[in-house]
A and B are shown apart, each in its own frame.
Chain A
Amino acid sequence: MTLEAFAPSQPLTLGVELELAIVNTHDYDLSPSSADLLRLMGKRKIPGDVKPEMTDSMIELSTGICTGYDDALSQLTEIRDALVDCARKLNVGLCGGGTHPFQDWSERRIFNTPRFHMLSELYGYLSKQFTIFGQHVHVGCPGPDEALVLLHGLSRFIPHFIALSASSPYVQGTDTGFHSARLNSVFAFPLSGRAPFVTTWDDFGTFFGKMTRTGVVQSMKDFYWDIRPKPEFGTIEVRVLDTPLTIEKAAALAAYIQCVAAWLSKEQPFPLEEDDYLVYTFNRFQACRFGPEGTFVDPKTGEHRSLREDILFTMGAIEHHAIELKADGALRYLRSELQRHGNDATWARQVHEREHLLAEVVRQQCLRWSGDLVV
C-alpha cells in the first residue's frame, strides 16, 4: 500500500475533535447511549460532525475548518449546545475528562461497526480499556515536508499540551496520582509513540512502505502516535491532549497549538535534531504524572526547569503571533487557568476533597461541560 498524497490545506487553520463521555443521570456511570444520541443528532444541522467511537458510551464531535480561536469556540459552542439538548431529551449527561473516574472497562460494549469489531478482535481487552476521551487538534500545513518539520518541532511542546489539558486523575474509582492517567492506556498500544525522525515526505513514504510491506500496518490510522500526519486533510494531528472539561479550554488549547505552530514555522527558533527525542519520553512522563509541576528537560541545553516555567516562557515568546492570529484571549485564559487550578485534574481533585463522592465529581463535570457551572 502506498502512502496517499498530501492534500493541500490552508496553513495554520485548525480542526478540533473531542471525544466525550455519555453518563446516566442517576449514579453518573457511563451509559450506553451513543446510538440514541447519534440518531437524535442526525436531525440537527451543525457546523461539524458527530461520530461514534470504540465503545457505546463514547461520542466524538469534530468541528469544520476553523480559522482561529474565535471560530473554533463558536463552532464548538454550536455543536455542544445541540449535543446537550439531545442528551437532555434522553436523560443522559455529557462530560469531558480524559477518563471516567469510576467506570469498569469490563462492562463496556463495543460499538457495532466492522472496524471497531475488528479492532476489538485484534487488541482484546485494550479496546474496552480504550474508553478514554481525548482531544485531537489538526493544524493545516502548506505542504507535506513543512508538515513533517512542524511535527517534529511541536514534539518539543508535547509536555505542555499534556500538562495544560490533563483531566484524568481517577481510574476505576481510585486516584492514580497522575494528572493524565489516560495516556497510560494509549501507550499500551504497540504502534503508539512518535513518528520517525524524517523531514521529507519522500523519506516518510519510504518508511511507510517498509511498514506496510511487513504487514504491521495497513494505513495511517493504525499509527497511534502523539502527533500524526493526516494526508487526506493535509494536516498534522496532535492527539495527546485529554478532553478538557469545558469547550473554552478546548478552543484555547487549539489556539495555543496554532500559535506555537506559527512561531515554529515563521521563526524556526530551534534547529531540529534526532537527539531532541532523547528527553522526549522523560518529559512526557513528567507531564502525565506531575502536570505543570513536572520537570522539563531542555533538549538542547539539558537544563531542568519546571514545566510551568517553560509554558509561561513559551507563552511570552508567542505573544506577538497570538496577537496576529487573534488568539491572545486564549493565552490569557490559559495563563489564568494555570495560575488558579493548574489544570482540570487538580480541579477534579479539589471537588473530590470537598464532596468525597466521585459520582458528584462527574456530575459537576457535566455541568461545566454544558456551561451551567462556571468556575
Chain B
Amino acid sequence: MVDQWLQAQSFLGVVVDWSSTRALLGLSLVVIAGALIGEGVFRFLGLPRIVGYSLVGLGVAVSGHGVAATGEIPPVVRMILDLALALLLFELGARVRLRWLRTNPFLLVTSLAESLLTFGTVYLAMRYLGLDTPSAAAVAVLAVPASPAVIARVASEFGAEGQVTERVYMLSALNTLYGVFASKLLLAWLDLDQGQNPVQAIVQPLYVFVGSFLLAGLLGYGVARVARGLDLRNENATLLLLGLITLALALTKTFGWSTLLVPLMAGLWLRNTTERPWVWPRHFGTAGGVLVLMLFVIVGSAWPVEGLAAGGLLALAAMAARAAAKSAAVFMLGWFSGQSLRQGVGVSLALTPLSATALVMYADLQGSHAGFAAQLAPVALSSIAIMELLGALAVLGALRSAGEIAARRP
C-alpha cells in the first residue's frame, strides 16, 4: 500500500520531505501540547499553567529528545532559554525596590542569612554524603537561588499580591544575584586550584561582573528613555523593548558576560534609578509568552532519565537541606522584618523552586569546565527536575495559604 502510494507520489512529481521540517514540526507540536496541557491543568486542577508546560518537557525527555540526552544544550535551545529567562529576570528586577532594604534592614539580613545558610547546609550535607569539596561547593552554589522564573510566572498568573509576594520577589532577585556571583567565583577558584594563571583566574570573574553591570546600565537606561517617550502599554512600544533586550542579550553572549546578571541588573537599574512607575504588559506581550512556555518545556525536558537513579538520592538530600536552611532563616528573622508567622510559612515554601536559572548556571559551568560539569550532571539535573514541579506547586500553595491570590483571576 505504501509502495503504491510512494510510486504515485514520484509519478506526480510530489515531494514530501519530512527531514527538512522536523524541527518546525517538533516545535509546533510542543507549543500546541504545552498550551493544551497547560490550560487543562489550570482549568481542571487549578494549578499553574507552567506545570503543564513542564509535563510536556518531561514527555520530550522521556521520548529521548530531552536536553539532558545529548549531554549539552544545543545552541538554538540555549538561545531560547536565555531570551525567555532574560525577559523574566528583567521583569523581576523591575519589581524590586532596593530602597525597601533600607527602610526594612532586617529584610537584607534575612536575605544574606538564608543564602549563606543554604550554601553552608547544602555543602555540609553533600560532603557528608561523599562528594568531594569542589562538587559539594558547586551543588551548594546551584542551590542558593530560588527560581525567579517560577515565582514570577506563578505570582503573575494568579494575580498574587501581598507581603509574601513582595518578599519572595525581593529574596529571589537577591539570591539569584548572590548565586550567579558565587558561581563565577567558584569557577575562578576551580581554575586556581587546577593551577591556572592566578591573574587570569581573578580577572575573569571581575570582567564578567563589571561588563555585565555596565551593559545592564545601558539597557536600563535605554528602556527608560523609550518608556519616557512611548506608552509602554501599546504593542509597538513593547516590540521595541523586546528588541532592546534581545540586542543586549546578543552583546552579552558576544562579550562573554553573564546572561543572567545583565537582564536582572538592568531591571533593577530601571526600577531603582527612576521614581516613575513603569507599567507594561506581562512578558512584553505574546512573543514573550511563547518564549516563556518554551522555557518551562526546555527545563522540563532536562529531566535526566538515566541520571535520576544515580543522582536522585543526593538531589533529594540537597533539596531537603536547602529547604530547611531557607525556612530556618526566614522564620528566625521574619518577626523582625514585620512578617507574620503565616507569612513566614508562605515565604519559606515559595523559596523552594529551582528551574531555569540553575539550569543556565549549570550550562555555563559546562561551557567552561565540561568534565567537572559532567560529574555534577546527575545531582544537578535531578535537583532541577525535582524542584521544578514541586516548586511550582509549593509557590501556589504558599500564595494560597497566605491569602494572596486575587479575587478575580486575570
- Give the A-B contact count at a CB cut-off of 8 A: 62
Closest chain A CB from B88 CB (angstroms): 16
Closest chain B CB from A203 CB (angstroms): 45
B276 contacts across to A, CB distance below 8 A: 355, 357, 360, 363
B231 contacts across to A, CB distance below 8 A: 356
The DSSP consensus for interface residues of chain B is: loop
What per-residue 1/0 map shows which CB atoms of A100-128 lie under 8 Å from chain B?
Answer: 00000011110000000000000000000
Name which residue of chain B comes closest to A104, CB basis: B408
Q: A24-B161, A32-B161, A36-B340 are in contact. Are A359 and B97 (CB under 8 A)?
A: no
In the complex, which of the residues A25, A28, A32, A108 contacts B162, with contact meaning CB atoms closer than 8 Å?
A: A32
A266 at the interface (CB under 8 A from B): no
Instruction: Please determine whether A107 and B103 come into contact, CB atoms closer than 8 angstroms.
Output: no
Q: A26-B277, A107-B408, A108-B407 are in contact. Are A89 and B103 (CB under 8 A)?
A: yes
A309 at the interface (CB under 8 A from B): no
In the complex, which of the residues A24, A39, A40, A106 contacts B407, with contact meaning CB atoms closer than 8 Å?
A: A106
B49 at the interface (CB under 8 A from A): no
Closest chain A CB from B170 CB (angstroms): 8
Cα–Cα distance between A32 and B402 once the two chains are bound (Å): 12
B166 at the interface (CB under 8 A from A): yes
Q: A28-B277, A357-B276 are in contact. Are A89 and B340 (CB under 8 A)?
A: no
| Residues 351-371 of A contacting B (Cβ, < 8 Å) | 355-357, 359-360, 363
Instruction: Please determine whether A33 and B277 come into contact, CB atoms closer than 8 angstroms.
Output: no
Q: A27-B277, A33-B163 are in contact. Are A39 and B97 (CB under 8 A)?
A: no
Cα–Cα distance between A307 and B404 once the two chains are bound (Å): 46
B406 contacts across to A, CB distance below 8 A: 107
B104 at the interface (CB under 8 A from A): yes
B100 at the interface (CB under 8 A from A): yes
A36 contacts across to B, CB distance below 8 A: 162-163, 338, 340, 343
B2 at the interface (CB under 8 A from A): no
A91 contacts across to B, CB distance below 8 A: 97, 100, 103-104, 166, 170
A88 at the interface (CB under 8 A from B): yes
A90 at the interface (CB under 8 A from B): yes
What per-residue 1/0 map shows which CB atoms of B167-191 lie under 8 Å from chain A?
Answer: 0001000000000000000000000
B343 contacts across to A, CB distance below 8 A: 36
Name which residue of chain B comes closest to A92, CB basis: B166
B275 at the interface (CB under 8 A from A): yes
In the complex, which of the residues A26, A28, A89, A109 contacts B338, with contact meaning CB atoms closer than 8 Å?
A: A89
Closest chain B CB from A270 CB (angstroms): 48
Closest chain B CB from A91 CB (angstroms): 4
B337 contacts across to A, CB distance below 8 A: 89
Name which residue of chain B comes closest to A24, CB basis: B161
| Residues 336-375 of B contacting A (Cβ, < 8 Å) | 337-338, 340, 343
B100 contacts across to A, CB distance below 8 A: 88, 91
| Residues 27-80 of A contacting B (Cβ, < 8 Å) | 27-28, 31-33, 36, 39-40
B162 contacts across to A, CB distance below 8 A: 31-33, 36
Name which residue of chain A comes closest to B159, CB basis: A107
A89 contacts across to B, CB distance below 8 A: 103-104, 337-338
Q: A32-B162, A363-B275 are in contact. Are A88 and B407 (CB under 8 A)?
A: no
Taking residues whose C-beta sits less than 8 angstroms from the other chain, chain B's interface range is 20 to 34
Instruction: Please determine whether B277 and A107 come into contact, CB atoms closer than 8 angstroms.
Output: no
A86 contacts across to B, CB distance below 8 A: 338
A31 contacts across to B, CB distance below 8 A: 161-162
A108 contacts across to B, CB distance below 8 A: 407
Name which residue of chain B comes closest to A88, CB basis: B103
Cα–Cα distance between A155 and B53 once the two chains are bound (Å): 63
Cα–Cα distance between A356 and B340 once the two chains are bound (Å): 38
Instruction: Please determine whether A109 and B407 come into contact, CB atoms closer than 8 angstroms.
Output: yes
B326 at the interface (CB under 8 A from A): no
What per-residue 1/0 map shows which CB atoms of B371-410 lie under 8 Å from chain A?
Answer: 0000000000000000000000000000000001011100
B95 at the interface (CB under 8 A from A): yes
Most chain A Cβ neighbours within 10 Å, of B277, B340, B404, B407: B277
Most chain A Cβ neighbours within 10 Å, of B162, B231, B340, B406: B162
Cα–Cα distance between A357 and B232 once the two chains are bound (Å): 11
Most chain B Cβ neighbours within 10 Å, of A32, A33, A40: A32
Name which residue of chain B comes closest to A356, CB basis: B231
B407 contacts across to A, CB distance below 8 A: 106-109
Cα–Cα distance between A73 and B95 once the two chains are bound (Å): 35
Cα–Cα distance between A270 and B337 once the two chains are bound (Å): 57
What per-residue 1/0 map shows which CB atoms of B133-158 lie under 8 Å from chain A?
Answer: 00000000000000000000000000
B45 at the interface (CB under 8 A from A): no
Instruction: Please determine whether A363 and B338 come into contact, CB atoms closer than 8 angstroms.
Output: no
| Residues 339-360 of A contacting B (Cβ, < 8 Å) | 355-357, 359-360
Name which residue of chain B comes closest to A110, CB basis: B407
B1 at the interface (CB under 8 A from A): no
Cα–Cα distance between A107 and B161 once the two chains are bound (Å): 11
B279 at the interface (CB under 8 A from A): yes
Q: A25-B97, A40-B338 are in contact. Are A90 and B279 (CB under 8 A)?
A: no
B408 contacts across to A, CB distance below 8 A: 106-107
A25 contacts across to B, CB distance below 8 A: 97
A360 contacts across to B, CB distance below 8 A: 276-277
Closest chain B CB from A373 CB (angstroms): 11
A88 contacts across to B, CB distance below 8 A: 100, 103-104
Contacts A/B (CB < 8 Å), 10 sampled: A26-B277, A32-B404, A33-B162, A39-B338, A106-B408, A107-B407, A109-B407, A357-B276, A359-B279, A363-B275
Q: A24-B166, A107-B407, A357-B279 are in contact. List 12 more A-B contacts (CB 8 A).
A: A31-B161, A32-B161, A33-B163, A36-B163, A36-B338, A86-B338, A88-B100, A90-B338, A107-B408, A109-B407, A355-B276, A360-B277
Instruction: Give B residues with C-beta under 8 Å from A.
Output: 95, 97, 100, 103-104, 159, 161-163, 166, 170, 231, 275-277, 279, 337-338, 340, 343, 404, 406-408
8 smallest CB-CB distances across A and B, nearest first, come from A88-B103, A359-B277, A91-B100, A89-B338, A89-B104, A27-B279, A109-B407, A91-B166
